[in-house]
Structure 1
Amino acid sequence: MTKQLKLCLFAFTLLILGGCSQAHFINDETYLQQLTQDYESKERSMQQGNFFDDLRLLKMTKAEREAMMFLYAYMPSSDITDYSTSYFLENVRLTFQAEKEMSWGTSVPEELVRHFVLPIRVNNENLDTSRDVFYSELKDRVKDLSMKDAILEVNHWCHEKVVYQPSDARTSSPLASVKTAYGRCGEESTFAVAALRSVGIPARQVYTPRWAHTDDNHAWVEAWADGEWYFLGACEPEPVLNLGWFNSPASRGMLMHTKVFGRYNGPEEIMEETLNYTEINVIENYAPTANAKVFVLDDSREFVSGAKVEFKVYNYAEFYTVAQKFTNGEGYTSLTAGKGDMLVWASKGDRFGFTKCSFGEEQEVEIVLNHSADDHFNVELDIVPPVESAHLPEVTPEQRAQNDKRMAEEDAIRKAYVSTFVTKDQAAQKADEWQLNKEKVAKFLIGSRGNHEIISSFLAQAVVEKQGDLALELLNVLSAKDLRDISLEVLEDHLYNSLLPKDLTLETYKEILNPRVENEMLTAYKGYFQEKIEEDEAVEMRKNPLMLVNWCNREITVFNELNAQKIRMSPQGVWLSRTTDNLSRDIFFVAVARSLGIPAWKDEVTNKVQYRNLITREVFDVDFSADEETKAPQGTVIAKYKPIKTLSDPKYYTHFTISKYENGTYHLLNFDSGDSDMGEGATWSNLLEKGLKLDTGSYMLVTGTRLASGAVLSSVNLFTVNEGKTTTVNLVMREDSEQVQVIGNFNSESKYLPLEETELKSILQTTGRGYFVVGILGVGQEPTNHALKDIAAVKEDLEKWGRGMVLLFPDQQKADKFKKDDFPNLPSTIIYGIDVDGIVQRDIAESMKLNKSALPIFIIADTFNRVVFVSQGYTIGLGNQLMKTIHGL
């Protein structure tokens, strides 16, 4: 059957459905017409693989078919290749079931159902059957509530299942988060959005791509009820909506956004429109804003249309792009943002330019494309974030007490589930039974948390097959998150189908045995490709991997626009469709190479695809357009650094970063951050002092000194690395001669109750004369967890300083909830206590004009009652900020 005939038959089916009495899912005829065009375009773009056949053959109602058309027209191509049509149809039917059975179902506008209830995908997670599971658990719990109360109730349910814990960048699926019982903010919010959508409540994940006043980012949830959008902290239930620990930092944000599935015409500012989603700007829901126009000109002062304009926030020692737009026919674009500073970078072809834009102060800025990759220069930038302007809804003491009681009950429910995980003794018993290394078995069984049955089954069978030690090596190359959600099918495929050379090394395990390439969904691909590729061809590819490179170049079409969200397509999906995106093609190459026994990987620093020639053992770069094996020429860069009083050895991501020029902009090199809790990772001394080998090209060195106010003193240095030569640059950490100054007062005679004591004691009695640190902790809250881990990272420095640190809990209940074992390596100079009646917190808040409820709060003060440092709420790098102030005293 020809493609044209198939389209005609499908159009005929739609015509028949349109003539009957069945209800529509999409009643907007204009939108339905556009949708039909987009659907047909998608099908033409993915002709190979027959992925659309079932969509024509499955029996559906008119509404179901329109909903399926909507999903298929706009879902990333990876979802089409990696999930069945019946899977999506089941989710469509579950959506309609919730709409019918929930009391608010018919009150939600069609447009909101379409964009914020029906879509399954929230972020870049693996898709699962959570809608069915969650609806079964939640429907009776919320069906008789108002929509706003239902949102609050769903969040309480979420807290029963999942609590905050930092982890790597890959997003676990909602059911995997439940199995693990924790997740980072991106996973908590993905989970909560999935739960809300399962009961027919419109919901969306909101990100601040990066904070302006401190490092890191954050994600939370917006949910719609009775005509309005409200926000909430995912898995962090509050008594009312529009309340979370992030109210204050969000008021200092420069940008908040969300990706809306499909073509969307809502009231919010559109940031970007793609073939998959519409990105919208929701900063006005959280902070005072201003709009700025950016005009781009060439060297002749002529306006440039089609120039790429990137809006960048300083964060983690780089200028990170939080929004990207293109100039119109008149040579300008615009953005609405919080009232602070951004670096605005414009480029077209091989020319670029940049400037600082202060939103709220400048309504228009001009950028001239007067630079190229060959330019070398240094520029200093002072970046000022927005000021705090949080508005908190009222919560009565009774509401707070009831909410705290419920959270304690939910903690108990979750802990009861966690208590079913494997213990150290149980792991030791298993190791004895299998005659395997006890330490490794314990590490993997305990680390797998709710996935321990899968790991146990895998090891047990591997022992039977006399592959127990190799099975341990496979588990050892997995990430901690992979242990928690990997399937038995994937483990067994990569154990029994890995073609390992006789001279096994650690590199071999990482380059061949490891199932993971990047952040893709793990699949059992090795046995699959060994069947698909003829043995004679496989032998030749092992001898000459360039054959595989050339095959990819010939057979695979790259169409990035079909996967704008960069959801990695499985290697099998790439094989079947032969149309994919750059990232998925890279992963595909590595997966096929490993399946054939060729060591291959993506370089963690540069993201280059590389392989090791089995004959020569040389490492080559993969260039899909080259006809021969390639190696990028390299040079050396050395950075000279003159230590300043507050910093002897700058850290990567905290104080400096390096980025490489490509296509008009600079892309970050991802050097190892190490274990942040232990203060490890790349630094000036171990990276740049003696010389760093880099591919030739143009680079940017960014440094930044974050002040206690959140402002940054930054320096940008552009330089070139030439083949075989050494380039020397200066790494400069700018200083503010007045950064340590008296900023307020605090009564050092303030009293608190030391833990396990019965009499009140003053701060002065505890610490003696001189400087000290006082902190008020928000137990179990993400900002406090970050702060304590940051303090642990500078343990040795704080102990060397030797002054007392008094950390106070708001009450005994919070003190009982605090587990010191969750924060190893805290300084021995810490004294814990209770802030009886909130006296200390109130005194600090009033004297420093702080928010009276946001925690944690930290100050450095002295016994002359002078405050020289204050931090409140969510602050990344607190330990470094404390030490910077201490060194400057």
Structure 2
Amino acid sequence: MGKISALSVLLLFFAAMFIVGCAPKYPGVPEKYHAGLDEALQAAGENRVELEMALNEIPDSQKSGMAFLIVNMPQRDLEELSAGFLKANIEYAYKARASFPWTMALPDSVFFNEVLPYASLNEHRDNWREKFFNLFYPYVKDVVDIRAAIDSVNQNIANIVNVEYNTNREKPDQSPFESMKQNMASCSGLSILLTDAFRAVGIPSRIAGTASWHDDRGNHSWNEVLVDGQWYFTEYYPSGLNKSWFLSDAGKADKNNPKYAVWASSFKKTGDPFPLVWDMSIKYVPAVNVTDRYVRLYQEQQKSKVASGELVELEIIMLKNDKCSLVGDDRMAVNVDVFKAEEQVGGGRTSGPTQDLNDFLTLFVDKNATYTFRYTNAKGEIVNVDKTIEEDPLQVRLYMSVEE
């Protein structure tokens, strides 16, 4: 009897070892994430327990999404994010997926990278998902078309969150709640707000931007949304999909120069960093080079408008003063912004004295309209010059008020 008992115990021991050996390492998580999870959890250090709780305490149907986040999150998040934060984000992201037809139709690859992430850039990690779902749900709950949903969020966000563009904001990379507390944000802060609002109601969105326009006139950030497999751009203050003042600048971007390229943010690691102009040492925000699409869009729109006769060519020249001519060193390289009423429709840098005499800052604008040309003169004064453009091409001469 004793021998039988000992044998039984031994068999039970080996059976248990076999079961343990065959048990999945991460139950409910696809094999493709296992190696990445091993590495991420090791890198998390003492915060590993929080990430494991986040992964283990959610339904199996959500574990692929959580694994995607953990595998791709930057080191700061591996060390800091709590299980509660991650579980709340997952819960309401999947709630959006179950609530809206456009989100239901998304493949996991898009849902994981453009809806599920809790952050876009390097902003503070706010737990915004539930609040934004409740804020924006009433504006899209009866909508069945993603374009209408995008338009509804885009048209209403400023009134909903009560945030406007203002350079007096505390910092450029504000989180949603930081911007809402101040009621102001930069273009980057506004872009973060809008992408989070889109994601809250299941609309795939990411941030796009450039470290510098082609003529070193400054940087800019905006938003992109995915519709029927195609990316479109928009902004916090919308003009419509793929319509904005900055296309004439983005259309001249240089994909081979990281400074002048157009980048789109990604949560999934890409090997390329998004250019965070407020701190270029930060390299942990992944990005995709999307310059070609903006160049193509700009060229297509220009060809279409010129062919239809809608546009007229406008050349802009900056001279030292009204006594100067185009010859010699009288031309000056200066940033000029062009407005039609309150909307900026273009801009650029005028040609300086060393550039070819036939090299002008050239724009194509609507006929029969009045435009304001805004620049800062040699005295540091902001100058606004109004010109009416009719049917024929026009050369506009501006003056820096340089005394000689």
TM-score (norm 2): 0.69
1:286 is aligned, of 282, 289, 294, to 294
1:115-194 to 2 correspondence within 5 Å? 115-145=113-143, 146-160=145-159, 161-166=162-167, 167=169, 169-194=171-196
1:807-826 to 2 correspondence within 5 Å? none
| Alignment partners' CA distance in 1, 2:57 and 2:361 | 70
1:477-516 to 2 correspondence within 5 Å? none
1:847 matched to 2:362? The reply is no
From the superposition, tell whether residues 47 and 125 of structure 1 become closer, same or farther in structure 2 (CA, over 3 Å): closer
1:66-81 to 2 correspondence within 5 Å? 66-81=64-79
Equivalent residue number for residue 411 of structure 1: none
Task: Give the 3-state SS of the residue equivalent to 1:287 in structure 2.
Answer: helix
CA deviation vs aligned residue, 1:508-531 (integer Å, no higher than 9, x gap): xxxxxxxxxxxxxxxxxxxxxxxx
Equivalent residue number for residue 710 of structure 1: 349
- Following superposition, the deviation at residue 106 of structure 1 comes to 1.4
1:794 matched to 2:383? The reply is no
Equivalent residue number for residue 61 of structure 1: 59
From the superposition, tell whether residues 736 and 15 of structure 1 become closer, same or farther in structure 2 (CA, over 3 Å): closer
1:391 is aligned, of 281, 289, 301, to 301
| Alignment partners' CA distance in 2, 1:124 and 1:216 | 20
| Alignment partners' CA distance in 1, 2:208 and 2:57 | 36
Instruction: Check conservation: 2:349, 2:361, Cα contact below 8 A.
Output: no
| Alignment partners' CA distance in 2, 1:705 and 1:807 | 17
From the superposition, tell whether residues 846 and 134 of structure 1 become closer, same or farther in structure 2 (CA, over 3 Å): farther
CA deviation vs aligned residue, 1:638-679 (integer Å, no higher than 9, x gap): xxxxxxx969xxxxxxxxxxxxxxxxxxxxxxxxxxxxxxxx
From the superposition, tell whether residues 712 and 209 of structure 1 become closer, same or farther in structure 2 (CA, over 3 Å): farther
1:868 matched to 2:397? The reply is yes
Instruction: Check conservation: 1:64, 1:89, Cα contact below 8 A.
Output: no
Equivalent residue number for residue 262 of structure 2: 256
Query: Which one-letter code corresponds to 1:258 in the other structure?
Result: A
Equivalent residue number for residue 87 of structure 2: 89
| Alignment partners' CA distance in 2, 1:275 and 1:43 | 21
Instruction: Check conservation: 1:248, 1:390, Cα contact below 8 A.
Output: no
Query: Which one-letter code corresponds to 2:265 in the other structure?
Result: K
Query: Which one-letter code corresponds to 1:391 in the other structure?
Result: Q
Instruction: Check conservation: 2:251, 2:296, Cα contact below 8 A.
Output: yes
| Alignment partners' CA distance in 2, 1:15 and 1:182 | 44
Instruction: Check conservation: 2:96, 2:200, Cα contact below 8 A.
Output: yes
Task: Give the 3-state SS of the residue equivalent to 2:265 in structure 1.
Answer: strand
| Alignment partners' CA distance in 2, 1:868 and 1:741 | 14
1:278-677 to 2 correspondence within 5 Å? 278-288=286-296, 389=299, 391=301
Instruction: Check conservation: 2:153, 2:198, Cα contact below 8 A.
Output: yes
Equivalent residue number for residue 659 of structure 1: none
| Alignment partners' CA distance in 2, 1:68 and 1:133 | 20
Equivalent residue number for residue 279 of structure 2: none
Task: Give the 3-state SS of the residue equivalent to 1:210 in structure 2.
Answer: coil
1:736 matched to 2:265? The reply is no
Task: Give the 3-state SS of the residue equivalent to 2:68 in structure 1.
Answer: helix
| Alignment partners' CA distance in 1, 2:21 and 2:213 | 48
| Alignment partners' CA distance in 1, 2:201 and 2:221 | 21
- Following superposition, the deviation at residue 169 of structure 1 comes to 4.9
Structure 1, unaligned stretches of length 5 or more? 1-7, 19-31, 265-269, 290-387, 396-644, 648-703, 714-734, 745-751, 753-774, 778-783, 799-804, 809-839, 849-865, 870-881
From the superposition, tell whether residues 841 and 143 of structure 1 become closer, same or farther in structure 2 (CA, over 3 Å): farther
Task: Give the 3-state SS of the residue equivalent to 2:244 in structure 1.
Answer: coil
| Alignment partners' CA distance in 1, 2:22 and 2:58 | 15
1:208 matched to 2:210? The reply is yes
Query: Which one-letter code corresponds to 1:842 in the other structure?
Result: I
Instruction: Check conservation: 1:125, 1:170, Cα contact below 8 A.
Output: no
CA deviation vs aligned residue, 1:54-105 (integer Å, no higher than 9, x gap): 5278522112222222211111121233331111111101010000011222
Query: Which one-letter code corresponds to 1:213 in the other structure?
Result: D
| Alignment partners' CA distance in 2, 1:209 and 1:285 | 17
CA deviation vs aligned residue, 1:561-585 (integer Å, no higher than 9, x gap): xxxxxxxxxxxxxxxxxxxxxxxxx
From the superposition, tell whether residues 248 and 11 of structure 1 become closer, same or farther in structure 2 (CA, over 3 Å): farther
For the pair shown, the structure with the greater C-alpha radius of gyration is: 1
From the superposition, tell whether residues 209 and 867 of structure 1 become closer, same or farther in structure 2 (CA, over 3 Å): closer
Structure 2, unaligned stretches of length 5 or more? 1-18, 255-260, 275-281, 306-318, 322-331, 337-347, 363-368
Instruction: Check conservation: 2:115, 2:204, Cα contact below 8 A.
Output: yes
| Alignment partners' CA distance in 1, 2:265 and 2:224 | 12
| Alignment partners' CA distance in 1, 2:126 and 2:393 | 51
Equivalent residue number for residue 371 of structure 2: 776
| Alignment partners' CA distance in 1, 2:102 and 2:33 | 27
Instruction: Check conservation: 2:115, 2:203, Cα contact below 8 A.
Output: yes
| Alignment partners' CA distance in 1, 2:186 and 2:357 | 33
| Alignment partners' CA distance in 2, 1:394 and 1:116 | 31
From the superposition, tell whether residues 394 and 198 of structure 1 become closer, same or farther in structure 2 (CA, over 3 Å): farther
Task: Give the 3-state SS of the residue equivalent to 1:286 in structure 2.
Answer: helix
- Following superposition, the deviation at residue 887 of structure 1 comes to 3.0
Instruction: Check conservation: 2:44, 2:78, Cα contact below 8 A.
Output: no
Percent identical among aligned pairs is 20
